[in-house]
C-alpha cells in the first residue's frame, strides 16, 4: 500500500481529531484503489504531554474505526507509546492488518527496549536502523553495523 504521515506536537484534541480525520480520508481513497494504507499519526517523542496525546489519538482512532467498513484493510504506524500495549486492542477490529512502530528519533537501543514492551507491535525503523552507518566505513564495517542493527531490531520485534 502507501502511507501518509502527520506529526502531533501536543495533546490538543481538536488538532488530533483533524489529523485522524485527514488520515482516514486518505486511507479510504487508498482502500478504494485496492491497496492497504498505512496510517501514520506520529506523536513527537519530545513533547511533554506525549502520554496524553497518545490517549487522545487512540480515542479518536477508535471513534473512526467503530464506523469504518471492516472490509477496508488498514495498517497503523505509531510512535512507540509511553504506556506499553496502548494500541494492542486495536487488533479487535477485523480491518486491522498490522501495527508497526516507528523509531521516532529514539536511539536504536532505546527504541528496541521500548518496542519489546509492546505485544504484537513490530519495528518499522529507518532512523534507528541507519544511525551507525557512515559513508567512511569499510564494506566490512558497514556490513557488521547493519547486521547488528537488523539483529537488534528483529529481536525487539518478536
Torsion of CA 122, 71, 29, 76, to 10 degrees: -20
Active site residue 77: yes
Contacts of 87 (CB under 8 A, 6+ apart): 58, 76, 78, 81, 99, 118, 121
Supply the pLDDT for residue 119.
95
Residues 60, 17 contacting (CB under 8 angstroms) = yes
User: What is the average per-residue pLDDT within 1-7?
Assistant: 76
User: What is the average per-residue pLDDT within 26-50?
Assistant: 96
User: What is the average pLDDT score of the chain?
Assistant: 94
Of 3, 40, 54, 58, which is the active-site residue?
40
Of 3, 50, 58, 77, which is the active-site residue?
77
Task: Grade residue 3 by pLDDT with cuts at 50, 70 and 90.
Answer: low
Residues 74, 32 contacting (CB under 8 angstroms) = no
Active site residue 40: yes
pLDDT at 70 over 90: yes
Amino acid at each position: 500500500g502507501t502511507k501518509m504521515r502527520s506529526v502531533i506536537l501536543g495533546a490538543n484534541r481538536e488538532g488530533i481529531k483533524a489529523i485522524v480525520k485527514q488520515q482516514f480520508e486518505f486511507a479510504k481513497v487508498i482502500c478504494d484503489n485496492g491497496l492497504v494504507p498505512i496510517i501514520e499519526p506520529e506523536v513527537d517523542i519530545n513533547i511533554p504531554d506525549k502520554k496524553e496525546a497518545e490517549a487522545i489519538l487512540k480515542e479518536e482512532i477508535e471513534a473512526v474505526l467503530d464506523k469504518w467498513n471492516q472490509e477496508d484493510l488498514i495498517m497503523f504506524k505509531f510512535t512507540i507509546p509511553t504506556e506499553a500495549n496502548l494500541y494492542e486492542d486495536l487488533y479487535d477490529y477485523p480491518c486491522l492488518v498490522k501495527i508497526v512502530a516507528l523509531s521516532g528519533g529514539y536511539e536504536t537501543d532505546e527504541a528496541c527496549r521500548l518496542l519489546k514492551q509492546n505485544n504484537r507491535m513490530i519495528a518499522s525503523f529507518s532512523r534507528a536502523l541507519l544511525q551507525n552507518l557512515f559513508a567512511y566505513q569499510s564494506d566490512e564495517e558497514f556490513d557488521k553495523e547493519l547486521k547488528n542493527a537488523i539483529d537488534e531490531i528483529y529481536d525487539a520485534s518478536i
